[in-house]
Amino acid sequence: MTELATKGERHSGAAYRDRFELLQKENFFPAADWMRQQRQAAISRFVELGFPTTRWEQWRHTNVAPLIATEFAQPMESQVALDAIAPLLLDGHPYLVFVGGSLSQELSSNDDLPSGVTLTGLEGAFDLAPELLEEHLGRYALWEDQPFAALNTAFWTDIAVIHVAPNVILDRPIRVIHWATANGRPVMTSPRTLIIAETGSRVVVLEQFVNLEEGSSWFNAVTEIVAGPNAVVECVQVRQGGPGSFQTTFTAVHQAADSRVRLHSLTTGGRLTRVDISANLAEPGAELILGGLYLVRGREHVDHHTRIDHVAPHCTSRENYKGILDDEGQGVFNGLVVVHPDAQQTDAMQSNRNLMLSDNALVHTNPQLEIYANDVRCTHGSTVGQLEEEALFYLRTRGLAVPEAQRLLIDGFAEEVLALVNNPALRGSLEQTVQAWITARELARD
């Protein structure tokens, strides 16, 4: 393993380049020619960009210095007990488990799938349809502008691939679990997911990032979602970080004509979490629903940056992000909607609301609209508030104790976003995660 970085080089990312070149020489990375070229271009781009600093407009409120200062190793092969993962699995749902960025076939269950649905790691995808990978992988994630996406593109070792053939419908959610390993020292894991829903198909995916190991593990993930014409995709991303963990994830959505995508995000825990979502409504009639919930306590820092590009006319986007912040937690929401010159008849609504449970919590909220077309309907807004005293009193006069009344109000606040989840099994599992967070919060106060 290469040593990371002399101090002066850290910000430039040169240490990561040195390590990349060494691993590349050892044929560590799976490679086709086009992949090798993409990795090479990505690591070069990463070195040019360097790590973001707070002088970058998009990183003003999120300082990644602690991440830069940490020496991360490559993930080692490691065993994760099935017991640890079992609680995450829903009965009868196909799933893949990635441990430390690599598919664990023995922990996965992907044989019970209807024909036309592929759920596999890199090896399986290569056997089935190499041309599909070449057509899509790395084509949507904006690794030329985003240093962390570039770093993932250089360093990923395996991929979760979900492919649904034209007009195939699968309503049972597919799960992809990315499990971090630590082995006693900080590890950088590079999860990578590619979801392709072909014309007229329908698929539901739960992508779960679990980073609960002790120590400062880092998930640097990229997910690409491609919805073909008239396809329907629902994807829930859950990020659960441990106290010392870092998470940077970039999700790119590309939508063809009349496709409908629902992308939900639930983030809890983690020392530093940065979530980037970039959606491209590329053809007419596409519809996007973005729902997000971030639950922040302790001294956690959670930053969401979303960008929706209305490129084609007659597209609709609805974005509803909510934050619940306690203790000295810090949140950032930056939502940008860009309506391109040809995107007439755009209908875009964006909302960010924050519930502050502590006087010491902090949130920066910045919804933004850039409109270059003249016949559009766009609204946006954000709020920051506390639990309403009136509501709390009302519930107490109905016999509810203060913690119970607070729980009801916090639940009620989150409900609007959870209600955007169509699939009942997924909605139920998200509700449980929210409940568990509230319970943990109550216990911490006792």
Residue ranges that bind another protein, judged by CB under 8 A: 388-391, 393-402, 404-405, 408-409, 411-416
CB of 265 to another protein, least distance (A): 18
Q: 359, 386 in Cβ contact below 8 A?
A: no
Judged by CB, which is closer to another protein: 84, or 401? 401
Contacts of 112 (CB under 8 A, 6+ apart): 94
**Angle at the Cα of 444 from the Cα atoms of 442 and 446, rounded to 5 degrees:** 70
CB of 231 to another protein, least distance (A): 31
d(C-alpha 418, C-alpha 235), whole Å? 13
Judged by CB, which is closer to another protein: 218, or 413? 413
Judged by CB, which is closer to another protein: 348, or 409? 409
- Closest by CA to 359, choosing from 405, 391, 328, is 328
Secondary structure (3-state) at 41: helix
Judged by CB, which is closer to another protein: 96, or 395? 395
Contacts of 438 (CB under 8 A, 6+ apart): 407, 410, 411
Q: 332, 61 in Cβ contact below 8 A?
A: yes
Judged by CB, which is closer to another protein: 84, or 402? 402
Judged by CB, which is closer to another protein: 56, or 394? 394
CB of 62 to another protein, least distance (A): 29
d(C-alpha 104, C-alpha 276), whole Å? 27
d(C-alpha 144, C-alpha 106), whole Å? 36
- Closest by CA to 262, choosing from 93, 85, 438, 430, is 430
CB of 365 to another protein, least distance (A): 19
CB of 176 to another protein, least distance (A): 29
Number of helices (H), then strands (E), in the chain: 10, 20
**Angle at the Cα of 215 from the Cα atoms of 29 and 300, rounded to 5 degrees:** 110
Secondary structure (3-state) at 366: strand
- Closest by CA to 296, choosing from 362, 250, 381, is 362
Beta partners for residue 211, in sequence order: 241
Judged by CB, which is closer to another protein: 156, or 413? 413
What is the helix (H) or strand (E) element at residue 106, kind and residue range?
none
CB of 158 to another protein, least distance (A): 39
Q: 292, 264 in Cβ contact below 8 A?
A: yes
d(C-alpha 44, C-alpha 36), whole Å? 12
CB of 41 to another protein, least distance (A): 47
Judged by CB, which is closer to another protein: 230, or 320? 320
CB of 79 to another protein, least distance (A): 42
Judged by CB, which is closer to another protein: 143, or 321? 321
CB of 403 to another protein, least distance (A): 11
